Chains A and B, each alone.
Chain A
Amino acid sequence: MIEHAQCYNWAASENQRTAFDTLVGAYPQGGCMKLTAQDIADVARLSRLELTEEEKETLAGHINRLLEHFEKLQQLDTEAVEPTSHVIPVFNVFRKDEPGESLPVNDVLANAPDVADDCFVVPRVVET
């Protein structure tokens, strides 16, 4: 989450400042905490990675060491630093709303694991 003190600099109106206030704490942000093998297992499942018990233990160690570095960084005073969500200072890159050519169906389906009726065929998915 971008520091809200910084966002006030962009806010031109009282409404916009109020709007920023309502965003504080409204959206969970990842924090630095110690990860367990179970956390690794959960993330692996979300990423569709199959890991052995041994790998989970090893990776938990690796990731925790990385997180320790971030904890150290968090001790820095960033009050006066412009917030960064992107590393290059570029904004508002747009294209015009003009339709162009799409790919031929054969090309679209070239990487499909299986094809029928010009559709990608996948194992039946459970309704969510």
Chain B
Amino acid sequence: MAEYEPIIGMEVHVELQTRSKMFCSCEVAFGGEPNTRCCPVCLGLPGSLPVINEKAVEYMARAALALNCTILPQCIFHRKNYYYPDLPKNYQISQYDYPLGVNGWVEILAGGRSKKIAIRRVHMEEDTGKLLHVSGNRSYVDYNRSGVPLMEIVTQNPPPEGLDQIESAEEAREYLQRLRQILLYLGVSDVKMEEGSMRCEPNVSVRPKGQSEFGVKTEIKNLNSFRAVYLGVDYEIKRQIRVLEQGGKVVQETRRWDDERGVTVPMRSKEFEQEYRYFPDPDLVPLRFTEEWIEKLRSELPELPLAKLKRFMSDYGLAQADAEVLIDSPDLAEFYDACAVGYKDPKAVANWITTELLRLLNATGKKLNETKLTPTHLCGLLELVDGGTINRNTAKAVFEEMFTTGKTAPEIVRQKGLEQVSDEAAIESVVNRVLDANPNEVKRYRAGEIKLLSWFVGQVMRETKGKANPATVNKLLREKLES
């Protein structure tokens, strides 16, 4: 039986986080009452004139550069003509043969064998309105989204020399996650798949290994999470292989991912091929970019997520899994960086952040910048643990207090009297008290039930309100029980 290899192309749309729309000054926001953020321009009323949002162009140029694209010295807006009720003008302002950026790539780690996924183009356009399907034969239309700045990012298959293409469902998901991270670091979009500010339409084909021509491809729609992208692409690869193995033919079509049933199903497709009759939009003059402007944007790019990941691993000695957790949010990465630089044990800091801090953030539903915790606070706490002032368990409680109140660790420890008791005499008297009060357990321990030791430790800790130095407690208990 022939072995098959899948090839996946990705078309991704990202809504920009500008304050106003692409060609008019209506506000950009999520949700809200329908049709409250509309004007003659984004409703396509006759006589209205679009004017380009400078910030949106800058955001998209920044993204194109971060995706290693070449920015063309001139780009042009085209009209893409089609009739659909979510498009009030009957054309979408988009780009055609002169897009903003071309020939880029996105690096993915692909389980250790790094690949550079080729990007064919990055172009600027406007979002459409939203169709709300109601029961019966009517659809409702909300144009609040109409005209929101939209960026389209398309991969290139086959890739040019030196670059790669996406060849599995895992890689498709990672490509999308890396793209999301980059855009998040640039601050150009909130890239939320669930809210639709990042949307992805993969196309999938399979071919017998060794064959150079591509197989027939299908496009998948309705993928609203990273998980759905993985499952949908994986399903489609297996389905196509099954069709071919049974002697059938893959039909070129658009298929819809059904998340509940975990399958893709064919969508009713248009009976004729689309012809968008592109032509340059006469309302919008061309854009020309100088080398100085492009180079200025390039020089302002922040350290990107994968570079940060590699640096955290090499400079701080972190395992990839921990580094991935930290870099997934630019805020968290920055917080970690600030702590790790000022502290002798960067792995311990990573540990505190990926366990305690993330636990508290999840539990409270807060974002890092909404808490009162600072990197100095965390380092201050770790120094108290290292210096033996408090033990690890107390430190967790102090950390929680710091998280909610913004007080420093020494302040909390002083106010609550949480200093660790390392004084042997003080601990010894508690140990004696515990042993005297529990003669039965002492007898059982001496008869060989040595796992009772931890029970004794617990009793002493309770008596000392958790402040006793655990090492001292252990040592004294052993001495006394075994004498």
Contacts and interface: CB of A to CB of B under 8 A. Distances in A.
Contact of B140 (A98, A100, A102, A117): A117
Nearest 5 pairs of A and B residues by beta carbon? A97-B55, A100-B25, A119-B140, A94-B54, A27-B97
B33 A26 contact: no
B397 interface: no
Nearest to B26: A102
14 contacts: A1-B97, A26-B97, A46-B81, A94-B54, A97-B18, A102-B36, A118-B34, A120-B142, A120-B143, A121-B138, A121-B141, A122-B85, A124-B136, A124-B139
Contact of A92 (B143, B268, B285): B285
Contacts of A125: 84-85, 131, 139
B19 A94 contact: no
Nearest to B28: A99
A13 B76 contact: no
B371 interface: no
Given A105-B36, A120-B142, A122-B85, 7 more contacts: A12-B291, A91-B288, A94-B51, A98-B19, A99-B25, A118-B33, A120-B140
B272 A102 contact: no
Interface string B326-354: 00000000000000000000000000000
A121 B143 CA distance: 12
B4 interface: no
Given A26-B97, A97-B20, A99-B20, A91 B270 contact: no
Interface residues of A, number: 56
A27 B82 CA distance: 18
Interface in A77-121: 85-86, 88, 90-103, 105, 108-109, 111, 114, 116-121
Contacts of B142: 119-120
A45 B273 CA distance: 12
Interface in B126-149: 131-133, 136-143
Contacts of B141: 119-122
B57 interface: yes
Given A10-B288, A12-B73, A15-B70, A100 B280 contact: no
B33 A105 contact: yes
Contact of A108 (B43, B55, B81, B96): B43
Contacts of A96: 54-55
B275 A46 contact: yes
Contacts of A22: 102-103
Most chain B Cβ neighbours within 10 Å, of A18, A101, A127: A127
Given A99-B20, A99-B26, A124-B136, A42 B280 contact: no
Contact residue range for chain B?
35 or more
A123 interface: yes
A19 B140 contact: no
A12 B289 CA distance: 10
A24 to B, nearest CB: 9
Given A23-B97, A97-B56, A119-B35, A85 B76 contact: yes
B91 to A, nearest CB: 11
A11 interface: yes
A20 interface: yes
A7 interface: yes
B137 A124 contact: yes
A124 B38 contact: no
Contacts of B33: 105, 118
Interface string B275-295: 101001010111110010000
A18 B74 CA distance: 14
A10 to B, nearest CB: 4
A62 interface: no
Interface string A29-65: 1000000000000100110100000000000000000
Contact of A119 (B96, B132, B286): B132
Contacts of B85: 120, 122, 125
B40 interface: yes
Interface in B90-137: 96-98, 102-103, 131-133, 136-137
B269 to A, nearest CB: 8
A81 to B, nearest CB: 16
A128 interface: yes
A48 B83 contact: yes
Given A97-B55, A105-B36, A128-B270, A86 B285 contact: yes
Contact of A86 (B72, B136, B280): B280
B412 to A, nearest CB: 43
A16 to B, nearest CB: 6
B361 interface: no
B177 interface: no
Most chain A Cβ neighbours within 10 Å, of B35, B133, B269: B35
Contact of B20 (A91, A92, A98, A126): A98
Interface in B14-66: 18-20, 25-28, 33-40, 43, 45, 51-57
